[in-house]
Structure 1
Amino acid sequence: MSAAERFDLYLEHLSEGLGHADRHAGLRGYCTGLMLPLSRKSVEPMAARVDPMHASARHQALHHFVAKAQWSDTQMLRRVCQWVMPKMDFSQGGWWIIDDTGFPKKGRHSVGVTRQYCGMLGKQDNCQVAVSISLASNQGSLPVAWQLYLPEDWAADRERRAKAGVPEEVHFATKTLIALQQLRTLLDEGAPRHCVLADAGYGVDNAFRQALSDMGLLYAVGVTSAVVVWPPGIQPLPPKRYSGMGRPAVVPRRTTTLQPMSVKALAMSLPPEAFQTITWREGTNTPLRERFAAVRVRHAGGNVGKARLRPEQWLLIEWPASDAEPSKYFLSTLPQDTPINELVSVAHQRWRIERDYQDLKRDFGLGHYEGRGWRGFHHHAALSIAAYGFLMAERLVADKPAGGKKNFIERKVPALPEDYIPRGSPARAAPRGNVDHDAAPSAELPTDRSSRAVPLLRQVKHKASLVTQ
C-alpha cells in the first residue's frame, strides 16, 4: 500500500468523527495544506496552493471548515491518537508530558490574548498560551489534549467572550487546573496510568502534585530551589496532641534544631561523593551527561506556609561540574528501589514535548492561525496535530527515512499557473479587518528525519474514545 493510499485511509478514519459528509473535503484540503512546504500555513496560502484554479472558493470553504463548522476538536485528537498510538511501543513504559506553549499575537481581540509570559519569546509579551498533554514512549510523543488558557480578564469580559465565541461552560482556570482536568478526562476514557512529567511551572504547586497522587499517578516533576523538604534521616516531631477543641493539628512540630530546609540548601550540604556523572541519552552531536544526586526526602511545605507530613519521595538534583550551584531539581514518586540512572532518564523525557512544539510550529503551521475565535483556534491546532500524527505514524512503520515520503501529497497538487494572482496581492486587494498577522519562520519540511522500523499493526476502527494499547 502506498503512502497516498494510507493517507486516504487515515482521512477516512478521521472523517468518521466530523458528523457531516460535506466536511470531508475540508478535512482533506486543510490537512493537505498543512503538510505542504509553505512558508505560511494560514487559510489563504493553503487554499491557493491546494486548489489554485479556484482559490477564492476554496479559501471560503476552508475558512468555514476551520472557523465555523461544528465538529469536535477533542474527538479529532482522539481519532489521531487511535491511529498513531497502536504503532508505538510502550513495552518499556510510557509518560504523560504536561506543558504549555505560547503564540505571539498583536492586538487584544484574538481569543485569550493578553500580556503574559511567552516561552517562544522568553519574556512577557502579548500572546496566546495553550496547555497540552502529550502521550510519549521511547519512540516519540504526540499531543492528545489541547486547550487555550483563558486569562482572568478575558474570562470576566462578557463582550469579548461573546465576540470570540468562548463557550459558556469555560471559566477561568489556572494552567495546572486545566492540565489536571485534561488528565482526569483521559483517564475516565480508559487511558493508561503512565508516569506524569512536567516542568517547575507545574511541579512547584503542591496541590498539583497531590492531585496526581490522588489519581494514582506517579510523577517526576521539576521544582524550584525554594521548595522546602525534610532532609534524609530527619524525622519531624508528630503534630501537637489534640486538645478536644477546634480542628486536630496536622502540621509536624518544628524546633530550633529540627527544621526543614530548601532543596538548594540540602543540595549544597551534600558531600561531593553524593554526586555521580550519568549519561541519559544521545544528543545531536554528543552524549548528554551531567552530575546528579538522588536522596529520599519528605515535602515540608511550598514556597510559603507549612504542610502536613508527606510520604517520602525522591529529590533528584542536577549540578553541572562547571556551575557554582545546582541547575535543576526534581521531585518524584517513582518507587524507592528505582536506580538513579532511571530517575535521570525519566525526568529528562520532557524534551519530547519541546520537540513536538518545535515540529508543529515549524512544519505544520501550529502558530499560523489568523482568526480570532475560540472554535477556530482549537480546530486549527487539532488539524495541525492530525497532519503531524500521520507523518509520525509513517516514520514509525517505514522501512526507509520519512524524508522521501513527505512530498507525496505535493506531487498530487497542480502547479500554479504563470498568470495566477493570489488573493491579497496589490492587484487583488481584500480587507483584513478581522484577522491578526504575525511573522513566522520558514516552515520548509526537513528531509533528514530519522525513522525506526516497527511492524505495521492492523488498524481497527473504534468509537472516538482513547484506545492506545
Structure 2
Amino acid sequence: MILNEMNGTASVEDVLTLTLDALRDVKARLRPVFGQERIAASAGRFLETLLGNEPRKTGWMRAEAAGDPGPWRQQALLGRAQWDADALRDVVRAHVVDHFGDADAVLVVDETGFLKKGAASCGVSRQYTGSAGKITNCQIGVFATYVSDKGHAFLDRALYLPKSWTDKPERLAAVHVPEDVRFASKPSLATTMIGRALAAEVPFSWVAGDSVYGVGDLEMALRAAGKGYVLGIHQNHWFHSWRPDLLISGEARDIVKALPEELWIQCSAGHGTKGERLYDWLYCPMADLEGQIADSDTPGLWTRGLLVRRNPADGDLAYFTTWCPQGTSLETLARVEGTRWRIEECFETAKNEFGLDHNETRSWHGWHRHVSLVMLAYAMMAAVRSKANTLKKSPLTTRKNLSDGRSRKSAVSP
C-alpha cells in the first residue's frame, strides 16, 4: 500500500489520527465543487470507500461499504449529478502543491491502459498498452505526476480518444464527449497538462517522460517556458553538435559507439525499493544556446544534449534528449530521469489500492470524475505518509504496536 514507504517512526494511532484529519481536510476542499450538500456528502462517502480494504472498488462493493442498498447513488455521482470534474482536478492540484510543492520538482508524464470489454466505453479501442504489454481492447489515460523530495502524487489526467472515435461524431455524442473535443495525440495531451500547470503557477523545474513524449511540440513548449527536460528518444534519433570543441553528428546509437568508454560514469538514478538504483551514464552536451534565442523567457545559456543510461547487468541502453541550464551536472540529469519510475508506482498503487481501473461508467464525464476522485484519494494518503514519516515514536508506543497485531492497512481505513 501507499503507506508501506513509511520509515517506521509513526505509531498506528498516529497514522489513524493523521488519516482522519486528512479526510476532514479533503472533504472541506471538495465542498465548493458540488452545488448541493447531498452530492458533496455522496462524494465524501465515495472517497471513503476508495480508502477502504475492499480488493475491488466496484459499484456494488462501494455501495456496501458506504451502507447503501445498491450502487445507484454511486452511479449518480459519476453520471447524472451536475458537477465539474475539472474543478475537482484543480482541487487535487492545489492539494498536491500545498503538501509537496518545491521549485526543483519534476513533472513526469506517461500513460496507462484500462482494459475493457465491448466498444461502448468512451475511448475504448484495440490499441497498445504497456499495462498489458500488447495490443488489446482498452482505454488509454495520459497522466502527469508531481515528484519532489517531499513526496509524489498525480497532478493531472486526460483520456486519449483515438481517431476511430474522433472521426465519428455519433460515437462521441453517445458518451457525452464535449463538442469542442478534437483528436489530440498523447504528447499533445501532455503538453496541454503542462500548460495548465504553468498557468496555475505550479512550482517545478523539470519534465521527464519516455520516448512517446520525447520529440515535438512538448520540447518546444518547455523551452519557451524555461523548463528543463529529460525525455526518452529512440536509438536512431539524430543529433548534431553546434559546439566548436565537439564536431559530431549522427544517430544516437552511433554517437555512443564513437565515444570512449572512460566517459561513462556510474551514479544513482535515485533510491528505490531495493536501495540505490545504480546505472552507467554518458552525457554528451551538443549545443549551448542563449535562452532568449531558444525562445525561452529564462535568460542565460541553456544546453541541449544527449544522455544515455546503461544497465550494468545486461548492457541495455536507453537514450534521452535533454535541455538544461548550462553547467547542469550529469548527476542532476540522472536524478531527473530516475523520477520516471514514480509514475509507474502511482499507477500500480492507484489500481491495486484505490480502484483506478475499476471504473464501471461508459461516459466521458464518468471516466474523468472517477479518475479525479481516485487521484484525490492517492494525494491524501501520500500526504499522510509524508507527515507520518516526520513523527517520532516513543518506545512505549512501539511495544504497544507490536502487541496489538493490526496492520497499517486496516488501521487507516476510515
Q: TM-score range by the shorter chain?
A: 0.7 to 0.9
Match of 2:381 in 1: 391
- Using the TM superposition, name which of 258-267 and 268-277 deviates more: 258-267
Aligned counterpart in structure 1 of residue 45 of structure 2, from 29, 33, 58: 29
Match of 2:237 in 1: 227
Q: Determine whether 1:9 maps to 2:29.
A: no
What is the distance in 2 between the residues matched to 1:393 and 1:410?
A: 15
What is the distance in 2 between the residues matched to 1:89 and 1:61?
A: 35
Q: Deviations for 1:126-180, whole angstroms, at most 9, x for unmatched residues?
A: 1100111122102322212111001111012122111111111111111111111
Partner of 2:324, secondary structure, is coil
Match of 2:208 in 1: 197
Partner of 2:339, secondary structure, is helix
Match of 1:55 in 2: 69
Instruction: Work out whether residues 190 and 218 of structure 2, in 8 Å CA contact, stay in contact via their aligned partners in 1.
Output: no
Q: Give runs of aligned pairs for residues 120-139 of structure 1, distance below 5 A.
A: 120-139=131-150
Distance of aligned partners of 1:107 and 1:342 in 2 relative to their CA distance in 1, 3 Å threshold? same
Which has the larger helix fraction?
Answer: 2
Aligned counterpart in structure 2 of residue 156 of structure 1, from 157, 167, 180: 167
Instruction: Work out whether residues 31 and 387 of structure 1, in 8 Å CA contact, stay in contact via their aligned partners in 2.
Output: yes
Match of 2:88 in 1: 76
Distance of aligned partners of 1:410 and 1:228 in 2 relative to their CA distance in 1, 3 Å threshold? closer
1:9 positional shift: 2.9
What is the distance in 1 between the residues matched to 2:222 and 2:275?
A: 35
Match of 2:184 in 1: 173
Aligned counterpart in structure 2 of residue 86 of structure 1, from 98, 106, 111: 98
Partner of 1:333, secondary structure, is strand
Q: Determine whether 1:38 maps to 2:54.
A: yes
1:76 positional shift: 1.1
Distance of aligned partners of 1:259 and 1:318 in 2 relative to their CA distance in 1, 3 Å threshold? closer
What is the distance in 1 between the residues matched to 2:188 and 2:159?
A: 12
What is the distance in 1 between the residues matched to 2:60 and 2:392?
A: 34
Q: Determine whether 1:327 maps to 2:317.
A: yes
Instruction: Work out whether residues 391 and 406 of structure 1, in 8 Å CA contact, stay in contact via their aligned partners in 2.
Output: no
Match of 2:370 in 1: 380
1:212 positional shift: 1.7
Instruction: Work out whether residues 249 and 255 of structure 2, in 8 Å CA contact, stay in contact via their aligned partners in 1.
Output: no
Distance of aligned partners of 1:12 and 1:286 in 2 relative to their CA distance in 1, 3 Å threshold? closer
What is the distance in 1 between the residues matched to 2:271 and 2:39?
A: 44
1:85 positional shift: 2.6
What is the distance in 2 between the residues matched to 1:36 and 1:73?
A: 22
Q: What letter corresponds to residue 209 of structure 1 in structure 2? A: E
What is the distance in 2 between the residues matched to 1:384 and 1:174?
A: 24
Q: What letter corresponds to residue 61 of structure 1 in structure 2? A: R
1:406 positional shift: 4.5
- Using the TM superposition, name which of 274-283 and 38-47 deviates more: 274-283
Instruction: Work out whether residues 14 and 80 of structure 1, in 8 Å CA contact, stay in contact via their aligned partners in 2.
Output: no
1:115 positional shift: 0.9
- TM-score where L is the length of structure 2: 0.83
Instruction: Work out whether residues 67 and 373 of structure 1, in 8 Å CA contact, stay in contact via their aligned partners in 2.
Output: yes
Instruction: Work out whether residues 79 and 361 of structure 2, in 8 Å CA contact, stay in contact via their aligned partners in 1.
Output: yes
What is the distance in 1 between the residues matched to 2:379 and 2:367?
A: 18
1:322 positional shift: 4.8
Match of 2:402 in 1: none
1:319 positional shift: 2.3
Unaligned ranges ≥5, structure 1: 237-257, 300-310, 412-469
- Using the TM superposition, name which of 167-176 and 391-400 deviates more: 391-400
Q: What letter corresponds to residue 235 of structure 2 in structure 1? A: S
- Using the TM superposition, name which of 289-298 and 392-401 deviates more: 392-401
Instruction: Work out whether residues 235 and 253 of structure 2, in 8 Å CA contact, stay in contact via their aligned partners in 1.
Output: yes
Which has the larger strand fraction?
Answer: 2
Aligned counterpart in structure 2 of residue 316 of structure 1, from 294, 307, 314: 307
Q: Deviations for 1:279-325, whole angstroms, at most 9, x for unmatched residues?
A: 232332342111111111259xxxxxxxxxxx85121111234546x
Match of 2:12 in 1: none
Q: What letter corresponds to residue 35 of structure 1 in structure 2? A: L
Instruction: Work out whether residues 107 and 207 of structure 2, in 8 Å CA contact, stay in contact via their aligned partners in 1.
Output: yes
Q: Deviations for 1:358-384, whole angstroms, at most 9, x for unmatched residues?
A: 111110000001121111111000111
What do you get for the CA RMSD once the two structures are aligned? 2.5
Instruction: Work out whether residues 241 and 287 of structure 2, in 8 Å CA contact, stay in contact via their aligned partners in 1.
Output: yes
Q: Deviations for 1:82-108, whole angstroms, at most 9, x for unmatched residues?
A: 2343222626x2011111111111111
Partner of 1:16, secondary structure, is helix
Identity rate, percent: 27
1:191 positional shift: 2.2
What is the distance in 1 between the residues matched to 2:237 and 2:313?
A: 24
Q: Determine whether 1:274 maps to 2:270.
A: no
* Aligned residue-pair number: 372
Instruction: Work out whether residues 113 and 141 of structure 2, in 8 Å CA contact, stay in contact via their aligned partners in 1.
Output: yes
Instruction: Work out whether residues 102 and 128 of structure 1, in 8 Å CA contact, stay in contact via their aligned partners in 2.
Output: yes
What is the distance in 2 between the residues matched to 1:5 and 1:323?
A: 47
What is the distance in 2 between the residues matched to 1:275 and 1:68?
A: 58
Instruction: Work out whether residues 143 and 157 of structure 2, in 8 Å CA contact, stay in contact via their aligned partners in 1.
Output: yes
Partner of 2:217, secondary structure, is helix
Instruction: Work out whether residues 303 and 325 of structure 2, in 8 Å CA contact, stay in contact via their aligned partners in 1.
Output: no
